[in-house]
C-alpha cells in the first residue's frame, strides 16, 4: 500500500500541470510545497481563491463551464472598473463569483487524512471532507463555505447599476482578504500539526502502537507524551468547535454543521481581529 | 464498534429535533426515512434546500448568523414580491441566498460511508465528503455546489431595482427545481445501491470476504455475482465520471474536481431534460 502511494505520488508530481495557469497560485505555493515535502501527502489540485466573471450561454443560464467565456479572472483583490469593463463584453448570462481557496491532497493512510481534515476544519474550511475510493486512494478536500455568486447580465444586457458593481467588488475583495487570512491560518496550523506528528513518531518508534494510541480516546493522561498531548490539544479543540457548531446549527437552522450557510462565530470574529 | 453505533443511533433518533422547524423538511422525509430504516445509517442533520433572505448587522457585512434577522425563508419556489416585501424590512446588509440540499448521515463502517458518498457524487452532489472522527464516528456529508449569494441592501438601503429582484427570484426558483431533481435522483440511486448491497450480502454470507471482494478491483468478472456486477457498474460509473471531471478541470481551471465552480456537463444537461 505504502509502495503504491509512493508510485502515485511520483507519477502525479512528475505530470505536467494542465491547468490554465500551468502553475501553482503564488498565494499557496508554500502550502503546496509543505504538503508535497511530507511523505504522507501530495496535492492533486488547488486554487488559492479567485474573483471571476463568466459569461454563460443564454439558453444555459445555470452556468456551465464548457461553452462559457471567462470575461475576468483575478487571484488577488480587484478594481471595480475592471469588472465593469469585463461585463460590458457579456453576450449571455454574466455571473460574478468569488471562489475561495480549494485544495485536494492525496493521503497515504486514513489517519494522515484525518489530521489534514482536522487542520482544515480548525482553520475555518468547514466544507472540507475525505474521499476514499475503492482502489484505496484517500483524498482530503480542503473547502470553504465562503462564496459569492451574483448574476450581472441577461442575454448580454446589464441588470444592475455601476454603483452596485462597485459595492460587489468591495464585498468580493473583503472575502479575498478573509480567504488569505484563512490560508495563512491553515499553513500555520498544518506546520504545528505536522511537527507534533513527527515528535510523536520519534517518541513512539512502533507505528502500529502509535496508530493504536491515536484511536483510543480513553487512555489515561499519564500515558501521553508532551508532543501527543499537544496534538490531543489541537485535535480536541477541533472537535469541541465542531460539537459547538452542531449545537449552534441545531438551534439556529435546519442545515448541518458543514452546510454552506455562512461563517461561524469564530470565523466571523477573525474578520475583525 | 457495531454496538456503539447502535447506541449512537438510538440516542440520536430519540433526541428532540432542536432545529427552528423542529421537523424534517417534507421534500426529504422519504430520503431521511430510507436512511434511518437502514441498520448502517442514521441522519444527524438535513435541509431540503431553501431560498433565504438574511439581514446582517451593518458593521458585519460578511454575514454572521447570530445577530442576523431572517427576513424570508422558503423551502419551495417563491414569488418575487415576497422577496421585495421582505427586503423592505432590511435595516442592515440583506443577502439573498439559495442554499441547496444538505444531509449528514452517520455511517456504521467506512464502506457504508463510501457507498453513500458514491451515490451522492453520482447524483450530482459534488461537494460531498466524509468525516472520520478520532472517536470512530464516520459521517457522510451530502453537499451540492449549487448556490446563489447576492447582496441586496447596504445599511438598510436597497441597492438594486425590483426588476432585478424578479430576475433573481427566477434564478433561485430554477436552482430550487434542479435541487429537487437531484434529491429525486439521489433517492433513486440510493434505493438501487442499497438493494444491490443487500443482494450481495445474501449471495456472499461471509462479511470479511464480502468486504475483501469490494476492495479488490482486479478480480476476474467470472467471480462476480449479478448483484455485485450491478453495484460495480454503479460505482464504476461514479469513478469514471470523477476521473472525467478531474481531466476536465485540469484543462479548464485551477480548481479541484470538488470545487464550487459550477455544475459539470452532466449536471447541466439535467436542467434541460
Residue with cell 417534507: B26
The predicted pLDDT at position B59 comes to: 57
Average pLDDT for B235-256: 43
* pLDDT tens-place string over residues B194-241: 998 888 877 765 544 433 333 333 333 333 444 444 444 444 444 444
> How many residue pairs bridge chain A and chain B with CB atoms within 8 Å of each other?
248
Distance CA B116, CA B107 (A): 9
Say which residue, B147 or A54, is predicted with more confidence.
Answer: A54
Q: Residue A213 — very low, low, confident or very high, per pLDDT cuts 50/70/90?
A: very low
- pLDDT surpasses 80 at B16: no
Verify whether the Cβ–Cβ distance A129 to B141 is below 8 Å.
Answer: yes
Question: With an 8 Å Cβ cutoff, is A46 touching chain B?
Answer: yes
Nearest CA in chain A to B263: A64
Mean pLDDT of chain B: 78
The predicted pLDDT at position A37 comes to: 96
Give A168's contacts in chain B (Cβ within 8 Å).
151
Verify whether the Cβ–Cβ distance B18 to A251 is below 8 Å.
Answer: yes
Q: Is the ipTM of this complex over 0.95?
A: no
Q: Strand, coil or helix: what is B58?
A: coil
Residue B272: burial class (beta carbons within 10 Å; 0-12, 13-18, 19+): exposed
Verify whether the Cβ–Cβ distance A265 to B66 is below 8 Å.
Answer: yes
The predicted pLDDT at position A200 comes to: 81
Domain boundaries, chain A: 2-200, 220-272
Q: Nearest Cα to A252, choosing from B22, B89, B149, B44?
A: B22
* pLDDT tens-place string over residues A125-135: 999 999 999 88
The predicted pLDDT at position A144 comes to: 93
Q: Which residues contact B157 (CB under 8 A, 6 or more apart)?
A: none
Verify whether the Cβ–Cβ distance B250 to A163 is below 8 Å.
Answer: no
A207-216, B21-30, B171-180, B264-273: range with lowest mean pLDDT: B264-273
Question: With an 8 Å Cβ cutoff, is A114 touching chain B?
Answer: yes
Q: Residue A81 — very low, low, confident or very high, per pLDDT cuts 50/70/90?
A: very high
- pLDDT surpasses 80 at A210: no
Q: Which CATH code for domain A2-200?
A: 3.30.1960.10
DSSP A50-95: EEEEEEE-TT--S--STT-EEEEEESS---HHHHHHHHTT-SSEEE
Q: Residue B191 — very low, low, confident or very high, per pLDDT cuts 50/70/90?
A: very high
Distance CA B247, CA A16 (A): 12
Give A265's contacts in chain B (Cβ within 8 Å).
64, 66
A53 and A152 Cβ atoms separated by less than 8 Å:
yes
Amino acid at each position: 500500500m505504502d509502495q503504491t502511494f509512493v508510485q502515485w505520488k511520483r507519477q502525479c508530481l512528475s505530470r505536467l500541470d494542465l491547468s490554465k495557469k500551468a502553475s501553482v497560485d503564488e498565494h499557496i505555493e508554500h502550502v503546496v510545497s509543505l504538503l508535497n515535502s511530507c511523505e504522507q501527502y501530495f496535492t492533486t489540485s488547488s486554487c488559492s481563491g479567485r474573483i471571476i466573471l463568466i459569461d454563460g450561454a443564454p439558453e444555459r443560464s445555470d452556468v456551465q463551464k464548457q461553452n462559457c467565456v471567462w470575461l475576468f479572472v483575478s487571484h488577488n483583490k480587484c478594481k471595480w472598473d475592471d469588472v465593469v469593463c469585463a461585463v460590458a463584453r457579456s453576450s449571455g448570462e454574466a455571473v460574478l463569483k468569488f471562489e475561495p481557496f480549494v485544495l485536494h491532497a492525496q493521503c497515504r493512510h486514513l489517519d494522515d487524512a484525518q489530521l489534514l481534515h482536522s487542520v482544515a476544519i480548525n482553520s475555518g474550511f468547514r466544507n472540507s471532507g475525505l474521499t476514499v475510493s475503492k482502489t484505496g486512494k484517500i483524498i482530503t478536500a480542503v473547502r470553504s463555505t465562503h462564496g459569492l455568486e451574483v448574476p450581472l447580465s441577461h442575454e448580454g444586457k446589464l441588470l444592475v447599476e455601476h454603483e452596485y458593481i462597485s459595492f460587489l467588488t468591495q464585498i468580493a475583495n473583503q472575502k479575498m482578504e478573509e480567504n488569505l487570512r484563512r490560508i495563512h491560518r491553515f499553513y500555520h496550523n498544518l506546520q504545528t500539526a505536522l511537527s507534533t506528528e513527527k515528535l510523536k513518531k520519534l517518541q513512539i518508534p512502533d507505528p502500529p502502537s502509535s496508530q493504536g494510541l491515536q484511536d483510543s480516546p480513553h487512555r489515561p493522561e499519564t500515558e501521553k507524551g508532551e508532543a501527543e498531548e499537544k496534538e490531543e490539544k489541537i485535535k480536541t479543540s477541533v472537535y469541541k468547535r465542531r460539537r459547538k457548531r452542531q449545537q449552534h446549527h441545531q438551534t439556529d437552522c435546519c442545515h448541518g454543521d458543514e452546510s454552506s450557510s455562512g461563517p461561524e462565530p469564530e470565523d466571523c470574529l477573525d474578520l475583525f481581529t
